[in-house]
Amino acid sequence: MRVLRAREALTPERIAQLSPEEQRGLAALKQALALAESLGLGHSTSYRHLIERSEDESIRVVVVAPAQRLEPVTWWFPIVGRVAYRGYFDPTRAQNFAQGLARQGFDTYVRPALLYSTLGWFDDPVPRALLRWPPAAIVVTIVHELVHEAIFVKNDTAYNEALATFIAHHAALEHFAEQPLQIESVRDGYADQRLFAQLLADLSSELNALYERELSAQDARSAREIIFQRYQQGRYPSLRWQTLRYEGFQGIALSNAYVLANRTYLGNLPCFERELAELEGDLRAFVREHKTQPGRHTDAQECAPSATGGEPQWVADPSSS
């Protein structure tokens, strides 16, 4: 509630205090709100207030997985059901939570997230820092969160996040079609997401095959480190990347949690692509289909969340004991 109390109305006087760069970002924000409504996502009262929050004060998202299974640990919350991550406004609490589970032998991954959605229950604010992002990034991010407000399936994190990723990028491709610099940024970014999705799918297949061998914990960790190194030092540099979005992949400490955190947003993209093609590229028809039948997949077997290797599992929050 502290965040909601800290919101500021975007009055003409407040807007006048923004830098020229931030005012351009605000224009992109307004375009994103209008774009989302034009897609049929509905009118939202979120992202119309400002909050003073820097990039360093971003929310922290914690993803957890067993060390010998490519399965997400999940937690249950009111309204949203089971989700495959936890969010914290306090970075220290996030790190303490992750470290507590790491001491129990779990893989953990902590990432920042500047924007969030309460699914329309509150009028979520926009961090001022977001207004300094490139216009294309602002549009993609805002539309992504507005998809969550309009289409959300309880207990299906993979569907919710991949659908928001898909709609947001295709909406941006449409919106910036006549703006060469912006459209190139959106197109290249989405191409890299698709490429990274394939890399992670292949990596996941190898990891699942490894874990099915039921090796000892030490042997499994040693074997997966060899796989991780091959993907980081061999596979990744062999691919043609258009942006620097995933340049940190080669240096990060890979884990099941990292793989799952990224596959959650990307794993269903191929199925959504096929579905959009069947609708002759009509993004509004695509949105209508998913508002009418939320959770649907073109190929249920290939796109179901269980494609990550098994059913999600639950663990207790070590900070609550």
Sheet of 107-113, strand order: 86-88, 59-65, 107-113
Whether 170 is in a domain gets the answer yes
Q: Is the pLDDT of residue 314 over 80?
A: no
**pTM here?**
0.88
Q: Is residue 196 assigned to a domain?
A: yes
Is residue 321 very low, low, confident or very high in pLDDT (cuts 50, 70, 90)? Answer: very low
- Read off the pLDDT of residues 158-213 as tens digits, 9 standing for 90 and up: 999 999 999 999 999 999 999 998 899 999 999 999 999 999 999 999 999 999 99
Task: State mean pLDDT over 208-228.
Answer: 94
Q: What is the mean pLDDT of the chain?
A: 89
pLDDT at position 2, please? Answer: 64
Tell me if 237 is assigned to some domain: yes
Domain count, the chain: 1
Examine the pLDDT at 286 and tell me if it is beyond 70.
yes
Please check whether residue 169 lies inside any domain of the structure: yes
pLDDT at 306: 37
Give the C-alpha separation, 219 to 281, whole Å: 48
For helices 157-175 and 20-38, give the axis angle rounded to 10 degrees: 110
Tens of pLDDT, residues 144-153: 999 999 999 9
In whole angstroms, what is the distance from residue 128 CA to residue 54 CA?
7
Q: pLDDT band for 307, please (50, 70, 90 cuts).
A: very low
Q: In this predicted structure, what is the pLDDT of residue 52? A: 87
Top pLDDT among 308 and 150 is at: 150
What's residue 295's pLDDT? 86
- Label residue 187 exposed, middle or buried (CB < 10 Å: 0-12, 13-18, 19+): middle
pLDDT tens track for 94-145: 999 999 999 999 999 999 998 888 888 888 999 999 999 999 999 999 999 9
Model confidence at 294: pLDDT above 80? yes
The answer to which of 37-46, 69-78, 176-185, 310-319 has the lowest mean pLDDT is 310-319
Residue 262 counted as domain residue: yes
Range of the domain at 143: 2-311
Burial of 265 (0-12, 13-18, 19+ CB in 10 A): buried
Asked whether the predicted pLDDT for residue 20 surpasses 90, the reply is yes
pLDDT for position 214: 84
Task: Evaluate whether 261 touches 63 at the Cβ level (below 8 Å).
Answer: yes
The residue-averaged pLDDT of 262-274 equals: 92
**Residue at 139 is within a domain:** yes
- In the predicted model, is pLDDT for residue 11 greater than 50? yes
Is 319 part of a structural domain of the chain? no
Q: What pLDDT was estimated at residue 3?
A: 65
**Nearest CA to 45 among 15, 9, 87?**
9
Confidence of residue 265 (pLDDT cuts 50, 70, 90): very high
How far from 225 is each of 207, 231, 253, 254, CA to CA, in Å?
10, 10, 10, 8
pLDDT at 26: 97
Domain membership of residue 120 (yes or no) is yes
